Amino acid sequence: MEENSLYYSLLIYSITNGIANYAVLKKEEKQILNNFNNYYLPRINKTFEERDIPQEIKKDIALIKEKINKENLYNLYTNLTNVIIKKDLSLLLKLIKGKYNSKTNTIKYTTINSKFHELMHLASSCYDEKNNIWLSGFINYNNKPIYGKALNEGYTELITRRVFNKKTAFYNEEVKIVSFFELLFDKNALESHYFNNDIYSFINHIDSYIGKENAIKLLLQFDYGFNLKIQGNPLYKLVYTNLELKLCKIFKLHNKSLLKQVDYFKLLDMTLITKTYQKTKQFIAS
């Protein structure tokens, strides 16, 4: 009896929480669509001067410089000026493994892998209070409502794994979805958009496949699922699966690269639900 009551409570929570988040999504979607052409990408003075690097991250920074094009690292060079690095196990009490605060230029971490992830946030963030600039990867905090959080965390972890050659469980589902997005891009171009804080070029590229309105809705759907996940709502899995299926459809309609086709099938092998749906659809069609 108690078990049934628990399931019922979870069901009610999932539905009401999902509806509340969906209402917020539609409101923000309307605002972003109406104002997208008025958003701006701040001009940043790029500097590539060598900085003193804290001893504990010298090897890590050397790896980033080795793996990432220098033209994409002006945020890194700037933030190394006065960065503070702290190991802080108290974060675990808040269920947080790491945190980068771009306003104070401080990294707090609990494990080596979480430190790597936060270093990527440092390398892709720009905070300039005097000129009202606050950017982090694909997120532009100057423009409201803020969007691109799921894309930003997923890509941050994807690029972290590549640079440091470490496989973690951080944002695993977001990494898979970002990998589907990446199939629609030249990898170097997507990397440049991320480190140069250019969400607008990201959206404009997806626009070339499905139109700007649908491109923005696709990005916001990712955020919607991400918010449900953070709030402990299991319905996020349905949102993520639906998003994967949409990205699969776009890829199959437009892909002309055999190498990307190989990457596509590898991704499908990691996403059981999407792969099963695709095969079932093919079976019915035949």
Instruction: Give per-residue pLDDT as tens, 126-184.
Output: 998 888 889 999 999 988 899 999 999 999 999 999 999 987 777 999 999 999 999 99
Is the pLDDT reported for residue 39 higher than 80?
A: no
Residue 20 domain flag: no
Residue 189 domain flag: yes
Distance CA 285, CA 82 (A): 60
Q: What's the pLDDT band for 280 if we cut at 50, 70, 90? A: low
Q: What's the pLDDT band for 278 if we cut at 50, 70, 90? A: low
The Cα-based distances of 73 to 61, 85, 195 in angstroms read: 11, 19, 7
Identity of the amino acid at 280:
T
Q: How many CA atoms lie within 13 A of 22 on its CB side?
A: 10
Distance CA 282, CA 286 (A): 6
Burial of 19 (0-12, 13-18, 19+ CB in 10 A): exposed
Cα angle value 182/224/153 (rounded, 5°): 45
Residue 11 domain flag: no
Buried b (16+ CB within 10 A) or exposed e, 24-60: ebeebbeebeeeeeeeebeebeeeeeebeeeeebeeb
Q: What is the pLDDT of residue 163?
A: 96
Mean pLDDT over 22-34 rounds to: 91
Residue 252 domain flag: yes
- Domain limits for position 109: 55-285
Residue 2 domain flag: no
Token representation of residue 267: 């991704």
Q: For residues 119 and 107, is the Cβ–Cβ distance under 8 A?
A: yes
| 82-100: pLDDT as tens digits | 899 999 999 999 889 999 9
Residue 133 domain flag: yes
- Of 250, 276, 251, which is closest to residue 261 (Cα–Cα)? 251
The conformation of residue 36, written as its DSSP 8-state character, comes to G
The Cα-based distances of 26 to 143, 214, 216 in angstroms read: 17, 13, 12
The H helix count followed by the E strand count for the chain is 12, 6
Give kind and range of the element (H or E) at residue 240: helix 236-254
Is the pLDDT reported for residue 67 higher than 90?
A: yes
Q: What is the pLDDT of residue 143?
A: 84
- Of 171, 34, 45, 74, which is closest to residue 116 (Cα–Cα)? 171
- Our count of domains for the chain comes to 1
The whole model's pTM is what?
Answer: 0.91
Residue 34 domain flag: no
Residue 145 domain flag: yes
